[in-house]
């Protein structure tokens, strides 16, 4: 049994050398932004005090924030880890337990933050389909705006030893595997993991740990927008603002969400997503091939396969599996650092 079951991701924290440039991007991305005590905070409409933090400094990822159900849970976690429950001296207050994962990522587990009443979301217009025509004598007229960010949904971290990190996160925070991704049979490269909320439905993934070649770091953080129209309006807005597109629009296989990835001015990737899968603790884990991670159900192909001469997927899987097998064979604790 895990020490605690976290209820969701809380925030992602970065540092960047130009807060004004980051702020302009985050506004285009659809956040409400504000500065406090020299840091840049970005929030959605879910009433949470912040979802994204930028501190002045070099362009690096600083920390993953997870949300515990209660301050009592934080005390349990702190006692288990031999650390203190500290005051969270940031907008919304609350408490925090600060941990470091096996790859050196900082994990900030928060609870007791003040929460405002959630704001409104744009209306979901009735959709006419071949099967049903609920919208009659009414038009669709959409304002050209950035997307409306509702909440943070998940983060993807590159790890140096998937099994080691999986054990670390599951033992402390109660994550459940939704889909384990294999480069070849019995050669896992990572897993989409969700929060254990018992009978309450939870997002298909809150954390994806991926053992991939190259430098460690966060691969992306993802934010839920209102609906498909809202996502597409956001896409249009970011394109008009000449922001850097990373991948999208498309519909993923694992998690099923419609996605759209963009890069901030410092190279960090952020995702807009809508219409993802929800599961309860009763739903069993699945094993999926790498092809299901790289492919889309519709939409833009993964950038790796978008060029004129895309590598065959089988070759990519083969070399990834080889890399993982070699690492497994010479199991070592790499001295890589994330900062
Ligand atoms: Fe994602």
Look at residue 334 in the predicted model and tell me its pLDDT: 53
CA 43 vs CA 11, 55, 148, 290: distances in Å? 9, 15, 10, 33
Is residue 131 domain-resident?
no
Compute, in angstroms, the gap from residue 80 CA to the centroid of ligand 1.
Answer: 31
Q: What is the mean pLDDT of the chain?
A: 95
Whether the CB-CB separation of 220 and 263 falls below 8 Å is answered with: no
Question: pLDDT higher for 149 or 312?
Answer: 149
Compute, in angstroms, the gap from residue 259 CA to the centroid of ligand 1.
Answer: 7
Whether the CB-CB separation of 49 and 114 falls below 8 Å is answered with: yes
Is residue 41 domain-resident?
yes
pLDDT digits (tens, 9 = 90+) for 90-107: 999 999 999 999 999 999
d(CA 315, CA 133): 46
In percent, the amount of the chain with pLDDT more than 90 equals 86
Is residue 280 domain-resident?
yes
d(CA 75, CA 18): 36
Look at residue 127 in the predicted model and tell me its pLDDT: 95
Compute, in angstroms, the gap from residue 224 CA to the centroid of ligand 1.
Answer: 10
Q: Which of 88-102, 212-226, 294-308 has the lowest mean pLDDT?
A: 294-308
The answer, yes or no, to whether residue 309 has pLDDT greater than 80, is no
Rounded to two decimals, what is the model's pTM?
A: 0.94
Compute, in angstroms, the gap from residue 262 CA to the centroid of ligand 1.
Answer: 11
Compute, in angstroms, the gap from residue 339 CA to the centroid of ligand 1.
Answer: 22
Closest CA to 64 of 109, 27, 19: 109
| Average pLDDT of span 156-161 | 97
Number of domain units in the chain: 1
Is residue 337 domain-resident?
no
| Average pLDDT of span 68-85 | 98
Is residue 59 domain-resident?
yes
Is residue 123 domain-resident?
no
Look at residue 335 in the predicted model and tell me its pLDDT: 53
Compute, in angstroms, the gap from residue 261 CA to the centroid of ligand 1.
Answer: 8
Compute, in angstroms, the gap from residue 211 CA to the centroid of ligand 1.
Answer: 16
Look at residue 322 in the predicted model and tell me its pLDDT: 85
Phi and psi torsions of 307, nearest 5°: -75, -175
Look at residue 304 in the predicted model and tell me its pLDDT: 81
Domain that holds residue 32: 8-114+145-329
Q: Residue 175 is part of a domain; what is its CATH number? A: 3.10.180.10
Predicted confidence band of residue 333 (pLDDT cuts 50, 70, 90): low
pLDDT digits (tens, 9 = 90+) for 234-258: 999 999 999 999 999 999 999 999 9
- Give DSSP secondary structure letters for 15-71: EES-HHHHHHHHHHHT-EEEEETTEEEEE-SSS-S-SEEEEESSSEEEEEEEE-S-H
Contacts of 176 (CB under 8 A, 6+ apart): 170, 193, 194, 195, 196, 281, 285
pLDDT digits (tens, 9 = 90+) for 28-53: 999 999 999 999 999 999 999 999 99
Is residue 88 domain-resident?
yes
Q: Read off the tokens for 125.
A: 């217009």
Is residue 156 domain-resident?
yes
The answer, yes or no, to whether residue 224 has pLDDT greater than 90, is yes
Compute, in angstroms, the gap from residue 222 CA to the centroid of ligand 1.
Answer: 5
């Amino acid at each position: 049994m895990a020490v605690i079951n976290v209820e969701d991701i809380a925030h992602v924290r970065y540092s960047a050398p130009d807060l004004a440039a980051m702020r302009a991007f985050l506004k285009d991305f659809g956040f409400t932004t504000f500065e406090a005590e020299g840091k840049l905070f970005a929030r959605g409409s879910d009433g949470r005090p912040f979802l994204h933090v930028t501190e002045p400094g070099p362009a690096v990822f600083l920390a993953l924030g997870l949300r515990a159900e209660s301050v009592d849970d934080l005390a349990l976690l702190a006692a288990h880890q031999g650390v203190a429950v500290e005051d969270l001296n940031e907008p919304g207050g609350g408490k925090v337990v600060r941990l470091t994962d096996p790859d050196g990522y900082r994990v900030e587990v928060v609870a007791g933050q003040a929460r405002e009443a959630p704001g409104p979301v744009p209306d979901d217009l009735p959709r006419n389909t071949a099967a049903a025509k609920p919208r009659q004598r009414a038009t669709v007229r959409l304002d050209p705006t950035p997307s409306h960010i509702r909440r943070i949904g998940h983060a993807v971290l590159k790890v140096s030893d998937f099994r080691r990190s999986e054990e670390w996160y599951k033992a402390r925070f109660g994550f459940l595997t939704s889909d384990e991704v294999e480069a070849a049979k019995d050669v896992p490269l990572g897993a989409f993991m969700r929060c254990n909320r018992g009978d309450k439905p939870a997002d298909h993934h809150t954390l994806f740990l991926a053992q991939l070649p190259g430098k460690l770091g966060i691969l992306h953080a993802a934010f839920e927008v209102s609906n498909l129209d809202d996502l597409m309006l956001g896409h249009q807005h970011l394109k008009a603002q000449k922001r850097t597109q990373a991948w999208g629009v498309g519909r993923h296989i694992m998690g099923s969400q419609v996605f759209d990835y963009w890069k901030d001015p410092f190279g960090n990737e952020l995702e807009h997503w809508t219409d993802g899968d929800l599961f309860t603790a009763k739903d069993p884990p699945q094993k999926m091939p790498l092809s299901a991670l790289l492919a889309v159900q519709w939409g833009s192909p993964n950038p790796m396969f978008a060029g004129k001469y895309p590598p065959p997927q089988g070759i990519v899987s083969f070399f990834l599996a080889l890399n993982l097998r070699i690492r497994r064979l010479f199991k070592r604790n790499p001295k890589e650092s994330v900062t």
